[in-house]
Amino acid sequence: MKPYIVIDTETAPAANFSRARMGETSLVYDCGWIVTDGEQMFERRSFVVAETFSNPDLMKSAYYASKLVQYHLGLGIDWTPASFLNIVNQFAADCRKYDVKDVWAYNARFDLATLNNTISTYSNGYRTHFFPFGITVKDIWTAAGDTICNTRKFANYCLSNGFLTAGCNPQTTAEIVYRYLTDNAHFEEAHTALADCDIENYILFRVRKRKQKHNTKPNGSGWRKAAKQLDALAADLQAKAG
């Protein structure tokens, strides 16, 4: 299999919370990726974005601001501080070195938007795209939604464990899908970029192992088929009870 990249980001919303949820106004402070062919691991990259991390007002609004002590202790060990331009250049160099064409992320629409917003912000609009030309961005969430989550078994797992959204749909985050696949209902996602890449790559591995047809577009709808399976399961239970 050709080498591919799994990338993840942790962000701070710069403005407009509703748009920040889509990544459009968020700025990356933690960026990590792995280069692999599914068997061999070629590179593991973990960066703290100097421009964002050094801005205390931004970091107060970071989604996982409680982890700031962990970041400070891990600087130079678990995270390499770097300007965002240097991070962009390293990513492009890895793509060239390993002839990468496919980049995967979980809820890739968010990562795509926030990476583009960050490079646009820190280059004053000079550059507007993080990914090099010719790269195809693919969504692990969408692929998992078509395969792993598109089963009664997954829907029942979420129902039995209370892993439901406020709208009573199955939760299909990477954390919940990884819990399901590893039969570990107490697993907690690290919510640091490189560590999250590892569990997301494992989910991708399990998607591919099923050899089922699946979509890969970053369309933000990885939850829909799981929701339909839960509706069908609920209807069956109601019919049996009636």
Amino acid at site 110: F
Q: How many CA atoms lie within 13 A of 103 on its CB side?
A: 25
Query: At 128, is the pLDDT very low, low, confident or very high (cuts 50, 70, 90)?
Result: very high
The answer, yes or no, to whether residue 35 has pLDDT greater than 90, is: yes
DSSP-assigned beta bridge partners for residue 104: 6, 138
Q: What is the pLDDT of residues 42-74, one digit of tens each?
A: 999 999 999 999 999 888 888 777 888 899 999
**Residue-level pLDDT at 234:** 76
Report d(CA 217, CA 212) in Å as an integer.
Answer: 15
More confident residue, 126 or 218: 126
Residue 19 confidence (pLDDT) above 70: no
- pLDDT for 241: 67
In this structure, which topology does domain 4-139 adopt according to CATH?
Nucleotidyltransferase; domain 5 (3.30.420)
- Statement: residue 13 has pLDDT above 90: no
CA distances from 213 to 9, 150, 202, 208, 229 (A): 27, 12, 18, 9, 17
| 156-166 per-position pLDDT tens digit | 999 999 999 99
Strand order, beta sheet including 26-36: 80-82, 41-49, 26-36, 4-13, 102-105, 136-139
| Alpha helices by DSSP H, the chain | 17-20, 50-53, 56-60, 68-74, 84-97, 108-122, 140-146, 152-161, 174-182, 193-210, 224-241
Check residue 171 and report its DSSP letter. Answer: P
Nearest to 229 by CA among 176, 164, 169, 173: 169
Position 199: which residue type? I
Q: What is the pLDDT of residue 22?
A: 67
Could you tell me where in the chain the CATH 3.30.420.10 domains are found? Answer: 4-139
Q: What is the pTM of this model?
A: 0.94
Has residue 219 got a pLDDT over 90? no
